[in-house]
Copies of this chain bind each other. A is one copy, B any other.
Amino acid sequence: MFVVSLSCDPGIGRAVAAEAGWRYCEAVRKVFPDGERYVRIPEDCSLKGERAVVVQSMYPNQDSMMVEALLAADALKGVTGLEPIAVVPYLAYARQDRVFLSGEAVSVRAVLRALHSAGYGGLVVLDVHKEDSLKHFRGTSVNVLPVNTLAKALKGVVERPLVISPDKGAARRAEALSRALGTEYRIVEKFRDRFTGEIRHRFAPMPEIRGRDVIVVDDIVSTGGTMASVVSFLREQGARKVFVAVSHGPLTKKALARLMDAGVTKIFSMATTCYRLEHPLITYLKPVGEVLQAIKEVLGTG
């Protein structure tokens, strides 16, 4: 086994290779003056008959990172004679996972089909928007919920923790994290105020929050609107500290500003993208153990 990083590996490839004792290298990449990309696997890295793991995230420059991944699969099949495994920490186009309006593309299906047809036999993604989307990948796929890495970072930081899911859809993440932390989780309900029209939040029934540390867990913070509103609500309910734990993001300065205004204590995010907002309030984590475990599952040895 060997691990190959492409242009958007947020440091996961090298770390996984070190943990597993696999060889690690970066693919040679360039962009021609006309904008076309080029990928070559260094000769001293690859061996015929040895399987490759390719690490490539897809934010920013989603389309180019996607095409680069297709080129890498072609190159690796040629060199090793085997189908490589793709590790995609952030899978682009995952939110367009169904036809919302007649005539739309199911974009995530198009992306997953292209990855498989390019030669990837296996796929590891980090907390994909809807796990069900992975059915469009015709090889073996594993969705990583980086719960252990999160729990390890939170332990010793939080006191009397309560895990919060900002909606029912994210409950699975909250449940898993609460188990890893040995505590319980609760779902915050969203409703529209009848008089003001504002989106507000409530618990049913209300848990004891006063003086506790709460951790709001979700897959992504993009604009930060909903998350900031949940953080405010939890502060109003008397939470001592409010942590935000996400798999992807925050992606914009505006999102961070909103969370700070709402009174967030600290943000934990996985290092899944190549653009990262650096700020003392944000800690980026690499879910090395979980990714390695998922690769082994894809290989059928996990």
Name A's B-contacting residues (CB within 8 A).
28, 34-43, 46, 59-64, 66-67, 70-75, 78-79, 92-93, 95-96, 99, 101-107, 109-111, 113-114, 116-118, 222, 251
Contacts and interface: CB of A to CB of B under 8 A. Distances in A.
Interface centre among A92, A103, A104, A107 (most CB of B within 10 A): A103
Number of copies: 2
B40 A101 contact: yes
A128 to B, nearest CB: 14
B39 A74 contact: no
Contact of A105 (B66, B72, B105): B72
Given A62-B35, A110-B118, A114-B118, A40 B103 contact: yes
Contact of A96 (B38, B43, B105, B251): B38
Interface centre among A101, A110, A111 (most CB of B within 10 A): A110
Contacts of A35: 59-63
A116 to B, nearest CB: 7
A108 B122 CA distance: 23
A106 B118 contact: no
Contact of A63 (B28, B60, B63, B107): B63
Given A34-B222, A36-B93, A40-B103, 18 more contacts: A28-B103, A34-B59, A36-B92, A36-B95, A37-B63, A38-B96, A38-B107, A39-B105, A39-B107, A40-B105, A67-B67, A71-B110, A72-B105, A74-B107, A74-B109, A78-B106, A113-B118, A114-B117
Contacts of A59: 34-35
